[in-house]
Amino acid sequence: MKAASVNELKEELKQLPAGKLVELCLRLAKYKKENKELMNYLLLESGNEQGYISEVKNEIAEEFGTVNSSNLYFAKKTIRKILRIANKHIRYIGTKQAEAELLIYFCAVLKNSGIPYEKSTALNNLFLAQIKKASKAIDTMHEDLQYDLKKELNKLI
């Protein structure tokens, strides 16, 4: 079975009554945790983006507290998990500023964690890729925001 395009789905959703639309949204939320989290962000958190970003930063910091730094292999697995969490929240927010802020924060916490990420090629490449990704996001922003975030980014390099 072929899935319909987003435009076709949009047209069908426009024709539905409000009650049926609510029913469909709840059904979507019931089957996937990510759908429920996205709906939670859109309905409850999107009005306070900075508060949401600070909550995500706290979650990242807490997760870094659980990293097993005795073995670089286990540390790498946990760090990738933390990055997946950060990227998921970046997708939910959907702004370049939030993307840059969260990636810079992730890199700063990784650098300050005491984990010898430079010794692992995979972790070092992961770190550099996030720096590059944050830099690309910063380049698309307004000049005032660019200055502040580039200053933070340069501290990491």
DSSP labels for 13-72? HHHS-HHHHHHHHHHHHHH-HHHHHHHHIIIIITT-HHHHHHHHHHHHHHHHHT--TTSH
> pTM, whole model, 2 decimals?
0.88
Q: What is the mean pLDDT of each run of 10 residues along the chain (157 residues)?
A: 87 90 89 90 90 95 91 93 96 94 95 91 95 94 87 87
Give residue 56's pLDDT.
95
Residue 37: name the closest of 67, 15, 18, 59 by CA: 59
Give residue 104's pLDDT.
96
25-57 pLDDT per residue, tens: 889 889 989 989 989 998 889 899 999 999 999
Q: Which residues, at least 6 apart from 157, have a Cβ–Cβ distance to it below 8 Å?
A: 131
Give residue 132's pLDDT.
95
56/8 Cα distance (integer angstroms): 34
110/70 Cα distance (integer angstroms): 15
Q: Which residues, at least 6 apart from 113, have a Cβ–Cβ distance to it below 8 Å?
A: 64, 67, 69
19 token code pair: 């009650």
- The structural domains of the chain, with segments of one domain joined by +, span 48-156
Give residue 1's pLDDT.
78
123 token code pair: 């972790």
106/113 Cα distance (integer angstroms): 10
Give residue 7's pLDDT.
92
